[in-house]
Amino acid sequence: MPKHTFDYDLIVIGSGAGGSAAATIAARAGQRVAIIEEDTFGGDSPNWSDVPTKALLHVAHVYDEARHAGKFGLRTSTLGYNYPSIRAWKETVVKRTGAANNRRFYENHGISAFNGRAHFLTPHEITVNRRHLSAAHFLIATGSSWVTPNIQGLSGVDFFTPRTILEALRPPKSLFIIGGGRYGIEIAQLMATFGTKVYIAEQAGRLLPHYDEEVGVALEQLLSEQKGVTVLTHSRVLSVSKEGLTKKILISRGGTEKIIKADELLVAAGRAPEVDFGLENASVHYTPKGIEVNEFLQTSVKHIYAAGDVLGRDSHTHSALLESRVVAHNILERTKLAPDYTATPDVIFTNPEIAHVGLSEDDSRRRDLAINKAVAPLSIIARSNTADFRDGFVKIITDKKGVILGGTIMAPHAAELIHELALAVKYGLTAKQVADTPHAFLAWAEAIRVAAQKLS
């Protein structure tokens, strides 16, 4: 039989982290590749999420540090900020990533780049901008978008999402946030630092319910006492309505209904995968929760792969990049690989930063694992004295043989510190091995040594 002839060897739908690596790797291997992006090239992370949010959080951290530097003998009484200039800095950071110019990058690598919405016609054919394109393989990396929860009156009021609030001309006087997950927490601290009165509502019994309990407790105390944030756990938003220039939010908390008024509303109650582009025509199995894949990231149609947020998992940019590289390998090579998520760090860029790797205490309990745990407060190490910063801790979990299963860090530079525990989890190190490793005096990492020492 004659071999099928397609326009491309690989068509990638989505130019974010889940799609970009595979497209580039395949093109460098001599494959004919096309990439399609409906929104801004580069996807969510560099344009609307990780990069701009962390740029603003960095400014907020510097401002907060300077504002409280009087205790060190610095004169800070005239300190202020210009929010349009802060937004300009954020735009500079986004521009410097080059993500919006990725189209030129792809074309320079011989990749055909299309700006438009893809729609499957058959398992080997799509349409984009009224043009039909075919490929031997596809990678679906369309990501996810913010969902609007089913709350009475919400559709009738203007509200922010974690994407749109980054474009606000100035911090609002007051802000009600629906959702106490990572995105809601980061924006709560960001806006509170610049003077916004923040309310944050979370249905669970603590903020960041998927993290160790110590994190939610410590974070609530920090936000309440240092930032003036009103934390409303065990709270469900019943309705939203306009009242003049403000929003009126009716919540239920502990069986009692309460009305809170705020100038602006932010909805950060979850994301849904982007799956509405004719997957039925390609016979790809999916649900509203995401596309179903096997261990090799193949969908129900073996030549169609999927990666990133479209899988419906609580993913990270670095996980999407890993999946994208695995897909490229599986397309190019006969021997297929499965992505190894062991020791994938999870980071929230608040101040202090929060980082986690491996199993949490709740994870261990659900798996019925016998564990030991130890917590070292930052106040136990000398660096907390010289920096005058004591709000945080290191928590390590081991099995009964002392092998490290997971860890959580709430500390300055936790995003960097967590990789020591990530190596321990990935390579099966014991707490004694970590404790016996010299840690530099006056480094925050001494708290890791202390926690490990308690388990040795």
For position 163, what pLDDT does the model report?
95
Q: Which two tokens stand for residue 52?
A: 């701009």
Do 164 and 138 fall within a single domain?
Answer: no
Do 79 and 173 fall within a single domain?
Answer: no
Q: Is-contact 20 102, C-beta < 8 A?
A: yes
User: How many domains does one find in the chain?
Assistant: 3
Mean pLDDT across 335-343? 95
- Range with the poorest average pLDDT among 102-106, 155-159, 293-297: 102-106
DSSP, res 388? T
| Three-class secondary structure of residue 121 per DSSP | strand
Could you read off the pLDDT of 47-73 as tens digits, one per residue? 999 999 999 999 999 999 999 999 999
Do 130 and 18 fall within a single domain?
Answer: yes
Mean pLDDT across 383-405? 97
Could you read off the pLDDT of 176-217 as tens digits, one per residue? 999 999 999 999 999 999 999 999 999 999 999 989 999 999
Mean pLDDT across 440-455? 98
For position 340, what pLDDT does the model report?
95
Residues above pLDDT 90, as percent of the chain: 94
Q: What is the mean pLDDT of the chain?
A: 95
Domain membership of residue 161 as a residue range: 154-269
In this structure, the strands spanning 346-348 and 353-358 are antiparallel
Q: Is-contact 417 370, C-beta < 8 A?
A: no
Could you read off the pLDDT of 135-178 as tens digits, one per residue? 999 999 999 999 999 999 999 999 999 999 999 999 999 999 99
d(CA 132, CA 125): 7
Could you read off the pLDDT of 348-390 as tens digits, one per residue? 999 999 999 999 999 999 999 999 999 999 999 999 999 999 9
For position 438, what pLDDT does the model report?
97
Sign of CA dihedral 437, 440, 441, 445: negative
Do 140 and 276 fall within a single domain?
Answer: yes
Q: Which two tokens stand for residue 88?
A: 């300009």
Do 265 and 120 fall within a single domain?
Answer: no
Do 14 and 136 fall within a single domain?
Answer: yes
Does residue 339 lie in a domain region?
A: no
Could you read off the pLDDT of 262-283 as tens digits, one per residue? 999 999 999 999 999 999 999 9
Does residue 341 lie in a domain region?
A: no
DSSP, res 181? S
In the predicted structure, residue 2 carries a pLDDT above the cut 70: no
Does residue 214 lie in a domain region?
A: yes
Does residue 211 lie in a domain region?
A: yes
d(CA 153, CA 239): 6
CATH number of 98's domain: 3.50.50.60
Helix residue spans in 152-212 (DSSP H): 182-193
In the predicted structure, residue 1 carries a pLDDT above the cut 50: no
CA dihedral 192, 193, 194, 198 (to 10 degrees): 0
Does residue 45 lie in a domain region?
A: yes
d(CA 162, CA 83): 17
pTM of the full structure: 0.94
CATH number of 397's domain: 3.30.390.30
Residue 79: how many CB atoms within 10 A of its CB? 12
Does residue 410 lie in a domain region?
A: yes
Do 93 and 106 fall within a single domain?
Answer: yes
Do 319 and 373 fall within a single domain?
Answer: no
| Three-class secondary structure of residue 195 per DSSP | coil
Residues above pLDDT 70, as percent of the chain: 99
Do 79 and 207 fall within a single domain?
Answer: no
Which residue among 310, 332, 354 closes a domain? Answer: 332
Does residue 340 lie in a domain region?
A: no
Do 77 and 217 fall within a single domain?
Answer: no
Do 324 and 385 fall within a single domain?
Answer: no
In the predicted structure, residue 98 carries a pLDDT above the cut 90: no
Mean pLDDT across 5-16? 96
